[in-house]
Homo-oligomer: A and B are copies of this chain.
């Protein structure tokens, strides 16, 4: 990374014209041996008090004077055409201020080939009309007064049937004869000679797995408040990417970007579905423009679960070949996955990725088919593709190990990938995954595990799975640091804290580099008007993208501070260091001045640091890794699976805040338990209707479902990754949980569930069938 700033510093208070130049040098990278005092500590969330006292204001809490409330009318049919729509009665209702529908809305292109308000509707929940009114009740009443005449069309909601020749089409077949429900040509990737590989194989696992549609269910649903001042639009949006929302809203409304400001201070979770701008955002902006009033449009849980994305269901046909000694010779997988009714962006989840990298496999073929169906659009969901892939690949590995009579861990070590096989580059930390295997298996007691004897109908079993993932971060990332007159610092970024603790962990990086206690640092984020550009908070990239930029900016400020301190103390700045808010002279135990003294007397408001995030290495691959070991108990009478414990070890480079990292691991494993055992959007394919677009019937894990989750930290600073040596942790711990549980269930009762989730009704049927066979 080439980063050099020459900054200005006023050396004498009030004296004009006396400036000195401070030249910044290359920033030393944080590695394993670097001694850090703030980074690495479990600092509690800086916004914790605001959150637990209810003072933190989410989009839903924004109330502007004269604000209206908006509601959206949604299509009740899986496939239909609007023949006629009449909003006259709705418009006439007292308190209704604006109504939008295909009859009057501007023709704004949406998704790949649709309109904001289209007359062709392709799933239950698609937007038909929207109303802004003085209250939510009036808006709801007004929706009932919208008169729509639909022509109901044939539909297909089961994607595994969508490519059948006679399936109803969501879009017409292409001129070249491609099936209208095939969203794109199959994506094929191949290396080595797969057929030869399989010929070499002595054992072949050949299985079909399916994974279900899961729903994001962020605690805070999607939604925003839109407000115009003249031609300036401000949006308080629940989003993982204020800058992307800005850009997309600007494009859709044909506004220059600088007229749109997107703000997100607090957020109740974002798992991928909030990484793009959805229709509600632009609808709110249009309703606000039309009514000349601020408009709040929050999705309710049903709308959220019908129309704001989901994890795409997959069908994966895996063939895995190996020699008797466990050496994998070939792998092929054909992945069919549904994008739902629309191609959103991000929903073409990279399911082949895990196959391509996790094990050393010389001969490999992956094929991925994205398929339309009359269901809500899919969108990225925490480790998109990888969670689905792991369910199939890691169970296949378990089956292979059992076939070979090998310990599943040994099979994995046998096929350990020391380098990135997709990019054909060495990893910056090739030892990572091995370390995760070692630490987690040891803490779990994998090698010495002795299955307890059956207790009544209850059987114990264990399983494991691994993952690799990105999380390297990437440029562009920027940060600005301002040292105030009283020695406190404002750190300005354009990123967002989606609930992961970004505000806290990035503050720690700033405090560490500036030599200030945490209390003297305030991080600003979540405002496109305020901070420099930052990319979307996704791909587990935030800490590794913005952290280095903050270090760079803080370093620039620190050098100016030391220069000023040198002037103040009449000491060569090179003999000075700053720590815990004080300036120390080389070799002296007591501090010579406080930072506040220096800023007040020498450089009030004068010190401003600007930082950038450098590029990733080009000759190596930066990845994250992890492994999980689980123990389950299966009740053979009820089919109930109870996860007893999970031991997880994940490498995310330098751990900035162990509490935050633990919390990501615990949260992801919890979500993984839900994905493994209960979470499934259920569609009645005969009617094309989602049966459980709520939280009553769509089951997410509760505290009673969550066992002790032990996170065995790795904390392996990766100085080749970036200057702060950190990588992401947000998504990866979700990847291995479900297959580890599935293999543990097999270990317990000898039943292999290849169709997620491992629900009680499936298991009890299979247990019954097993008993039937056994009898």
- Answer whether A485 and B257 are a contact pair too, CB < 8 Å, given A19-B615, A230-B50, A530-B527: yes
A53 CB–B CB distance under 8 Å: yes
- The residue of chain B having its C-beta at the shortest distance from the C-beta of A596 within the complex is B256
In whole angstroms, what is the CA distance A618 to B490 when docked? 32
Complex contacts, A476 vs chain B, CB 8 Å: 10, 605-606
A374 CB–B CB distance under 8 Å: no
Q: How far is the CB of A509 from chain B (nearest CB, A)?
A: 16
A108 CB–B CB distance under 8 Å: no
Asked whether, in the complex, the Cβ of A608 is within 8 Å of the Cβ of B533, the reply is yes
Complex contacts, A50 vs chain B, CB 8 Å: 229-230, 232
Asked whether, in the complex, the Cβ of A258 is within 8 Å of the Cβ of B532, the reply is no
Complex contacts, A533 vs chain B, CB 8 Å: 482, 484, 605-606, 608
In whole angstroms, what is the CA distance A524 to B6 when docked? 25
Asked whether, in the complex, the Cβ of B19 is within 8 Å of the Cβ of A258, the reply is no
Complex contacts, A686 vs chain B, CB 8 Å: none
A residues 240-261 in Cβ contact with B at 8 Å: 243, 247, 250, 256-259
A17 CB–B CB distance under 8 Å: yes
Complex contacts, A606 vs chain B, CB 8 Å: 475-476, 533
Asked whether, in the complex, the Cβ of A16 is within 8 Å of the Cβ of B256, the reply is no
In whole angstroms, what is the CA distance A63 to B522 when docked? 26
Complex contacts, A259 vs chain B, CB 8 Å: 488, 522
* A486 interface neighbour in B56, B256, B475, Cβ under 8 Å: B256
In whole angstroms, what is the CA distance A21 to B615 when docked? 13
A65 CB–B CB distance under 8 Å: yes
- Answer whether A489 and B230 are a contact pair too, CB < 8 Å, given A2-B21, A530-B527: no
Asked whether, in the complex, the Cβ of A258 is within 8 Å of the Cβ of B489, the reply is yes
In whole angstroms, what is the CA distance A482 to B522 when docked? 22
Asked whether, in the complex, the Cβ of A10 is within 8 Å of the Cβ of B475, the reply is yes
Asked whether, in the complex, the Cβ of A480 is within 8 Å of the Cβ of B532, the reply is yes
A residues 1-18 in Cβ contact with B at 8 Å: 1-8, 10, 16-18
Asked whether, in the complex, the Cβ of B6 is within 8 Å of the Cβ of A6, the reply is yes
- Answer whether A521 and B230 are a contact pair too, CB < 8 Å, given A10-B475, A16-B616, A530-B530: no
In whole angstroms, what is the CA distance A55 to B474 when docked? 40
Asked whether, in the complex, the Cβ of B16 is within 8 Å of the Cβ of A618, the reply is yes
* A257 interface neighbour in B8, B47, B250, B488, Cβ under 8 Å: B488
A residues 522-553 in Cβ contact with B at 8 Å: 522, 524, 527, 529-530, 532-533
A437 CB–B CB distance under 8 Å: no
Asked whether, in the complex, the Cβ of A6 is within 8 Å of the Cβ of B5, the reply is yes
A478 CB–B CB distance under 8 Å: yes
Asked whether, in the complex, the Cβ of B17 is within 8 Å of the Cβ of A615, the reply is yes
A49 CB–B CB distance under 8 Å: yes
A458 CB–B CB distance under 8 Å: no
* A478 interface neighbour in B524, B608, B618, Cβ under 8 Å: B608
A612 CB–B CB distance under 8 Å: yes
* A6 interface neighbour in B4, B56, B482, B618, Cβ under 8 Å: B4
Q: How far is the CB of A117 from chain B (nearest CB, A)?
A: 25
A520 CB–B CB distance under 8 Å: yes
A106 CB–B CB distance under 8 Å: no
A610 CB–B CB distance under 8 Å: yes
Complex contacts, A486 vs chain B, CB 8 Å: 247, 250, 256-257
A762 CB–B CB distance under 8 Å: no
In whole angstroms, what is the CA distance A18 to B65 when docked? 49
Complex contacts, A527 vs chain B, CB 8 Å: 530
A residues 476-515 in Cβ contact with B at 8 Å: 476, 478, 480, 482, 484-486, 488-490, 492
In whole angstroms, what is the CA distance A475 to B16 when docked? 8
A171 CB–B CB distance under 8 Å: no
Complex contacts, A65 vs chain B, CB 8 Å: 61, 63
In whole angstroms, what is the CA distance A197 to B474 when docked? 74
Interface size class, chain A: 35 or more
Q: How far is the CB of A240 from chain B (nearest CB, A)?
A: 16
- Indicate the member of A7, A8, A21 with the most B CB atoms within 10 Å: A8
Asked whether, in the complex, the Cβ of B256 is within 8 Å of the Cβ of A612, the reply is no
Complex contacts, A149 vs chain B, CB 8 Å: none
- The residue of chain B having its C-beta at the shortest distance from the C-beta of A57 within the complex is B229
- The residue of chain B having its C-beta at the shortest distance from the C-beta of A20 within the complex is B2
* A530 interface neighbour in B2, B57, B529, B610, Cβ under 8 Å: B529
Complex contacts, A405 vs chain B, CB 8 Å: none
* A256 interface neighbour in B56, B256, B519, Cβ under 8 Å: B519
A residues 198-226 in Cβ contact with B at 8 Å: none
Asked whether, in the complex, the Cβ of B258 is within 8 Å of the Cβ of A522, the reply is yes
A617 CB–B CB distance under 8 Å: yes
In whole angstroms, what is the CA distance A484 to B5 when docked? 22
Asked whether, in the complex, the Cβ of B616 is within 8 Å of the Cβ of A17, the reply is yes
Complex contacts, A243 vs chain B, CB 8 Å: 605
Complex contacts, A522 vs chain B, CB 8 Å: 232, 258-259
Asked whether, in the complex, the Cβ of A47 is within 8 Å of the Cβ of B230, the reply is yes
- Answer whether A480 and B480 are a contact pair too, CB < 8 Å, given A50-B230, A57-B229: yes
Complex contacts, A490 vs chain B, CB 8 Å: 258, 529
* A2 interface neighbour in B8, B480, B519, B617, Cβ under 8 Å: B8
Asked whether, in the complex, the Cβ of A256 is within 8 Å of the Cβ of B520, the reply is yes
In whole angstroms, what is the CA distance A463 to B61 when docked? 62
Complex contacts, A530 vs chain B, CB 8 Å: 492, 524, 527, 529-530
Complex contacts, A524 vs chain B, CB 8 Å: 529-530
- The residue of chain B having its C-beta at the shortest distance from the C-beta of A50 within the complex is B230
Contact with B along A55-78 (1 / 0, CB 8 A): 111000101110000000000000
Asked whether, in the complex, the Cβ of B529 is within 8 Å of the Cβ of A258, the reply is no
In whole angstroms, what is the CA distance A53 to B231 when docked? 12
Asked whether, in the complex, the Cβ of B230 is within 8 Å of the Cβ of A49, the reply is yes
Complex contacts, A64 vs chain B, CB 8 Å: 63
Q: How far is the CB of A609 from chain B (nearest CB, A)?
A: 10
Complex contacts, A478 vs chain B, CB 8 Å: 608
- Answer whether A17 and B53 are a contact pair too, CB < 8 Å, given A6-B4, A489-B258, A520-B258: no
- The residue of chain B having its C-beta at the shortest distance from the C-beta of A49 within the complex is B230
Asked whether, in the complex, the Cβ of B16 is within 8 Å of the Cβ of A474, the reply is yes
* A17 interface neighbour in B18, B229, B230, B617, Cβ under 8 Å: B617
Complex contacts, A17 vs chain B, CB 8 Å: 615-618
Complex contacts, A1 vs chain B, CB 8 Å: 19
Contacts from A to B (Cβ < 8 Å): 1-8, 10, 16-19, 21, 47, 49-50, 53, 55-57, 61, 63-65, 228-232, 243, 247, 250, 256-259, 474-476, 478, 480, 482, 484-486, 488-490, 492, 519-522, 524, 527, 529-530, 532-533, 605-606, 608, 610, 612, 614-618
- Per CB-CB distance, the 9 closest pairs between chain A and chain B, nearest first, are A533-B605, A258-B522, A17-B618, A258-B488, A257-B484, A63-B65, A17-B615, A50-B230, A256-B488
Given contacts A49-B231, A608-B610, 14 further A-B contacts (CB under 8 A): A2-B6, A7-B612, A10-B476, A16-B474, A16-B618, A17-B617, A63-B65, A247-B484, A247-B485, A247-B486, A250-B486, A258-B484, A258-B488, A475-B606
21 A-B pairs whose Cβ atoms sit less than 8 Å apart in the complex = A1-B19, A3-B6, A5-B6, A6-B6, A17-B615, A17-B617, A50-B229, A243-B605, A256-B519, A256-B520, A257-B484, A257-B485, A478-B608, A480-B480, A484-B533, A492-B529, A527-B530, A533-B608, A608-B610, A608-B612, A610-B610
